[in-house]
Amino acid sequence: MTEDFDAIVIGTGQAGPALAVRLAGAGYKTAIIERERFGGTCVNVGCIPTKTLIASARAAWVARNAASYGVAIDGAVRIDMPTVKARKDGVVAQSTNGVESWLRGTSNVTVIEGHARFESARVVRVDGRQLTAPRIFINTGGRPTVPAIGGLTDIDYLTSSSMMDVDFVPEHLIVVGGSYIGLEFAQMYRRFGSNVTVVEMAPRLIPREDEEVSQAVREILESEGIGVRLHAQCIDVEKRADGVAVRVSCEEEPRVIAGSHLLLAVGRIPNTDDLGLERAGIATDARGFIVVDDQLSTNVSGIWALGDVNGRGAFTHTSFNDYEIVAANLLDGEARRVSDRFAVYALFTDPPLARAGMTEREARASGRPVLVGRRAMARVGRARERGEMKGFMHVMVDAETRKILGAALLGIEADEAIHCIIDVMSAGAPYTAIRRAVHIHPTVSELIPTLLGELSPLQQAIADIPPLILA
Ligand SMILES: Cc1cc2nc3c(=O)[nH]c(=O)nc-3n(C[C@H](O)[C@H](O)[C@H](O)COP(=O)(O)OP(=O)(O)OC[C@H]3O[C@@H](n4cnc5c(N)ncnc54)[C@H](O)[C@@H]3O)c2cc1C
């Protein structure tokens, strides 16, 4: 028997639940399907658990450094990993249960558990059930990439997902992948007490960032005792009696790094290979991402793709923004587009890196006349008071339009301070809107108007850059 709906949502990631509830509220009889845990990646194995674990790691760091603040801790600082994990599990459970009960408690929404597959452009099968709808929304997210590394099938390895089950402190964690996810785990486990080595194939960490950002992040991690091995062009792995050995070079010494555990953090692939997309005629690109237009429609009319699965973003906030775009266009008569948004994200190391808009490399390539303002965190009162002065703030402005082109803030509270820049960029207002704002003292944000009052042309600023102060 076929069950008829007005809308079907596949996946309960960061776009699906909000969309299902919105559609149901607008009178659409809506089915939402989940094959695993409600809330998807962010809630169960992504943002929420990692930031909860990072909070425990920071508590350990603060305790170890307490003496420098005049706080005496008599006795060693110990990590109780089962409790760290239990705390994380508790925070995750609250969120995943919240998503599930929200959906189940919404009238006009039918929650179906199981793996969804297209039978055709209008029919979706979930186990024995056959559902139809004129509108289908795909929010199936992604999963960690497992690269074709020699020897991998013979060893036990961890991914960002299986790291969530770890309730012990590895003796020596080797992290293959020196980008956002890998670096957050690297610092977290170093602070829990592991020896940590990051292995990256590229010549620098987080190669998407500007060189000075990569370099400063590297210095921050190395200052905590994290080993960084770049240019690892020739990676393969081998089982050892006490763990794992990772070959990092065919020529340069050291050729091999030995550790107790291996974490692979080399990117994510979309969950599209087991969706039956070919039966619905839905096009994907060479990497498996569903091809969408600027309003997130696929090539098949009546089918949309939202979140990581469309390759137009890889964050919770981009997935949620996808929901807002689709809902506004479908239900509110608006014409919102993905291309209206600009890049914003953070790397939640401590201190964090927050980014908005263009990198310096992109700004140079744009050919625009660029002004830049720069300030070391050591010159920010709040950072000095906190005794955490690593990093810098860097903001670029278009000299003609006076609009902010991009910003990289690396330092304490950067993930919050960036929002005054994001809001002005979103409003399409000139940088002078921040310049004239009165910010609260003493905060990190209060220095952003000051920094914008000291702009100089990009070339000159590069020549004049004071050495990075990474206290
Ligand atoms: C370790 C880690 C840390 C991260 N930290 C951050 C961060 O700090 N900030 C940030 O913005 N982003 C972060 N991200 C990224 C963020 O988690 C994702 O971008 C976000 O979850 C968006 O996902 P989504 O909405 O596309 O779908 P997802 O959250 O991936 O959810 C997809 C859902 O669809 C379900 N599903 C898949 N296929 C089917 C099917 N065939 N049938 C039924 N159900 C199906 C899955 O089970 C899953 O529940 C992190 C990711 C990781 C891995």
Number of neighbours of residue 339 by Cβ within 10 angstroms: 9
Q: Is 10 in contact with 31 (CB distance < 8 Å)?
A: no
Residue 134's nearest CA partner among 120, 145, 117 is 120
pLDDT in tens, 59-96: 999 999 999 999 999 999 999 999 999 999 999 999 99
The answer on pLDDT for 462 being more than 70 is: no
Mean pLDDT, residues 258-284: 98
pLDDT value of position 467: 44
What is the C-alpha separation between 254 and 406, in angstroms, rounded?
39
Per-residue pLDDT, 356: 98
pLDDT of 76: 92
Across 7-23, average pLDDT: 98
**Cβ–Cβ < 8 Å for 215, 144:** no
| pLDDT given for residue 459 in this prediction | 74
- What's the confidence (pLDDT) of residue 464? 43
pLDDT at 47 over 70: yes
Model pLDDT, residue 468? 42
Give the mutation target among 44, 47, 100 for probing the ligand 1 site: most ligand atoms within 8 A of CB. Answer: 47
The residue whose CB lies within 8 Å of the most ligand 1 atoms, and thus the one to mutate among 118, 140, 189, 292, is 140
> If you measure from the C-alpha of residue 270 to the centroid of ligand 1, how many angstroms do you get, rounded to a whole number?
10
Distance 145 CA to ligand 1 centre (A): 13
Ligand 1: which of 34, 41, 318 to mutate, judged by most atoms within 8 Å of the beta carbon? 41
213 CA from centroid of ligand 1 (Å)? 27
Q: What pTM was estimated for this model as a whole?
A: 0.96
What is the average pLDDT across 147-164? 96
Ligand 1 environment, Cβ below 6 A = 10-15, 33-36, 40-42, 45-47, 50, 115-116, 139-142, 160, 181, 271, 275, 307-309, 314-317, 319, 348
For this structure, is 441 an active site residue? yes
**351-396: per-residue pLDDT in tens?**
999 999 999 999 999 999 999 999 999 999 999 999 999 999 999 9
Q: pLDDT tens, 299-310?
A: 999 999 999 999
Q: Whose CA is nearest to atom 3 of ligand 1?
A: 46
Distance CA 252, CA 106 (A): 60
Mean local confidence (pLDDT), 12-41: 98
Residue 249's pLDDT is what?
Answer: 78
Residues 15, 330: contact at Cβ < 8 Å? no
Q: Which of 146-155, 186-195, 249-258, 445-454 has the lowest mean pLDDT?
A: 249-258
Residues of the chain with pLDDT > 70, as a percent, come to: 97
- Structure confidence at residue 233 (pLDDT): 84
Q: Which residue has the tokens 């990092």?
A: 248
Cα separation, 375 vs 365, in Å, equals 23
Q: How far is the CA of 287 from the centre of ligand 1 (A)?
A: 17
Residue 452, pLDDT > 60, answer yes
Measured from the CA of 185, which atom of ligand 1 is nearest? 1
Q: Tell me the CA distances in angstroms from 52 to 104, 239, 247, 316, one per residue in order.
A: 26, 32, 32, 16
User: Of 115, 317, 394, 441, which is the active-site residue?
Assistant: 441
In this prediction, residue 174 carries a pLDDT of 98
Q: What is the pLDDT of residue 469?
A: 40
CA 268 to ligand 1 centroid distance, Å: 10
**How far apart, in Å, are the Cα atoms of 333 and each of 12, 150, 157, 323?**
25, 53, 49, 15
Dihedral class, residue 459 (left if φ above 0, else alpha if ψ from -120 to 50, else beta): alpha
| Beta bridge pairs of residue 3 | 131
Mean pLDDT of 42-69: 98
1: pLDDT strictly greater than 90: no
